[in-house]
Chains A and B, each alone.
Chain A
Amino acid sequence: MVARVDWRIILRQPAGAISAAVILVFLAVAAFGPLLVGGNPDHISENILQAPFGAFGLGTDELGRNVGLELFYGLRISLLVGLLAAASATLLGAAVGSIAGYFGRGIDSLAMRISESFQVLPTFILAALIVALIGAGLDRVIAVIALLAWPQTARLMRAQVLRVKQAEFVDAARCLGISEWAIMLREVIPNAFAPVLATATLTIGDAILIEAGLSYLGLSDPSVVTWGRMLNSGQRFLFEAWWLSIFPGFAIFATVLVFNVFGDVLNKVLNPRGA
Chain B
Amino acid sequence: MTHILPGDPVTALVGQFPAPPAYVALIRHDYGLDQPLYVQLWLYLGNLAHGNLGYSFGSQRPVLALILQHARATLLLMVPALTVASIVGILLGGAAARRVGSIYDGILSAVSIGGYSTPVFWLAQILIIVFAIKLQALPAQGMYTIGSDYSGFAAFLDYLQHLALPGAALAFFNIALVARVARASMFEALHQDYTLLALAKGLRPTYVFWRHVMPNALIPIVTVIGFNFGSALTGAVLTETVFGWPGIGSLFVASIEKRDYPVLEGIFLLTSFAVLAVNLVTDLTYGFIDPRVARSYHGRS
- Residues on B with C-beta less than 8 A from A218 are 253, 256-257
- A112-131 with Cβ < 8 A to chain B: 120-126, 128-129
> What string of 1s and 0s marks CB contacts (under 8 Å) between A210-248 and chain B?
001100111100000000100100110011001001101
Q: Is B47 an interface residue (CB 8 A)?
A: no
Bound-complex Cα distance A260 to B180 (A): 14
Partner of B119, one of A123, A125, A209, A239: A209
- Distance between A233 CB and nearest chain B CB, rounded to angstroms: 12
Contact at B125–A245, with CB atoms within 8 Å? yes
**A218, B121: Cα distance in complex, Å:** 13
- CA A253 to CA B265, docked complex, whole Å: 31
Q: Are the C-beta atoms of B5 and A238 separated by less than 8 Å?
A: no
Is residue A264 contacting chain B, with contact meaning CB distance below 8 A? Answer: yes
Q: Is the CB of A249 closer than 8 A to any CB of chain B?
A: yes
Q: Tell me if A252 counts as interface (CB < 8 A to partner B).
A: yes
**Is A135's CB within 8 Å of the partner chain B?**
yes
User: Nearest-CB distance from B138 to chain A (Å)?
Assistant: 14
Q: How far is the CB of A188 from chain B (nearest CB, A)?
A: 29
Contacts across chains A and B counted by CB atoms under 8 Å: 123
Min CB–CB distance A148 → chain B (angstroms): 11
A238 to B184, CA, bound (A): 39
Looking at B113, B125, B230, B253, the one whose CB has the most chain A CB atoms below 10 A away is B125
Taken together as a complex, chains A and B put the C-alpha atoms of A252 and B4 apart, in Å, by 32
User: Is B279 on the interface with A (CB-CB < 8 A)?
Assistant: yes
| Residue picked from A122, A235, A264, most chain B C-beta under 10 Å | A122
CB < 8 Å: which of B114, B133, B252 contacts A238? B133
Let me know if B122 and A132 touch, CB within 8 A: no
CB pair A133 B5 closer than 8 Å: yes
Residues of B within 8 Å of A275, CB to CB, are 180-181, 184-185, 188
Complex Cα distance, B5 from A120, in Å, reads 26
Query: Is B256 a contact of A126 with CB atoms below 8 Å?
Result: no
B116 nearest in chain A by CB position? A260
Alpha-carbon distance A257/B176, docked complex (angstroms): 13
Contacting pair B256 A217 (CB below 8 A): yes
- On whether A125 and B252 interact (CB within 8 A), knowing A134-B4, A135-B5, A238-B129, the answer reads yes
Q: How far is the CA of A191 from the CA of B276 in the complex (A)?
A: 35
A195 close to chain B: CB less than 8 A: no
Task: For the complex formed, measure the closest distance between the CB of A249 and the CB atoms of chain B, giving whole angstroms.
Answer: 3
Chain A residues, Cβ within 8 Å of B56 = none
| Chain B 251-265 interface mask (CB, 8 Å, partner A; 1/0) | 011001101010011
Contact assessment for B230 and A121 in the assembled complex, using a CB-CB cutoff below 8 Å: yes
User: Does residue A261 face the partner (Cβ distance < 8 Å to B)?
Assistant: yes
Residue-wise interface mask of B (127-170) relative to A, using a CB-CB cutoff of 8 A (1 in contact, 0 not) = 01100010000001000000000000000000000000000000
A16 within 8 A of B: no
* A51 smallest CB distance to B (angstroms): 14
Q: Any chain B CB within 8 A of the CB of A205?
A: yes
Q: Which of A124, A132, A242 contacts B234 (CB 8 A)?
A: A124
Q: In the assembly, what is the distance between CA of A135 and CA of B5, in Å? A: 7
Q: Tell me whether A133 and B4 are in contact in the complex, defined as CB-CB below 8 angstroms, given that A125-B234, A238-B129, A260-B113 are known contacts.
A: yes
Cα distance A145–B276 in the bound complex, in angstroms: 21
| Set B129, B180, B181, B268: member contacting A242, Cβ < 8 A | B129
Identify the A interface with B (CB < 8 A).
120-126, 128-129, 132-135, 205, 209, 212-213, 216-219, 228, 231, 234-235, 238-239, 242, 245-246, 248-250, 252-253, 256-257, 260-261, 264, 275
The 10 A-B residue pairs with the shortest CB-CB distance, nearest first, are A249-B122, A275-B184, A124-B234, A257-B117, A256-B117, A133-B5, A245-B125, A122-B230, A122-B271, A132-B256
A-B contact pairs, 9 of them (CB 8 A): A124-B231, A125-B267, A132-B5, A217-B238, A242-B129, A245-B126, A249-B126, A253-B114, A261-B113
Other than the known A121-B272, A245-B129, what 18 A-B pairs have Cβ atoms closer than 8 Å?
A: A120-B272, A122-B234, A125-B267, A128-B237, A129-B264, A133-B2, A133-B4, A133-B261, A134-B5, A213-B119, A216-B238, A231-B119, A238-B125, A238-B133, A253-B117, A253-B118, A260-B113, A275-B185
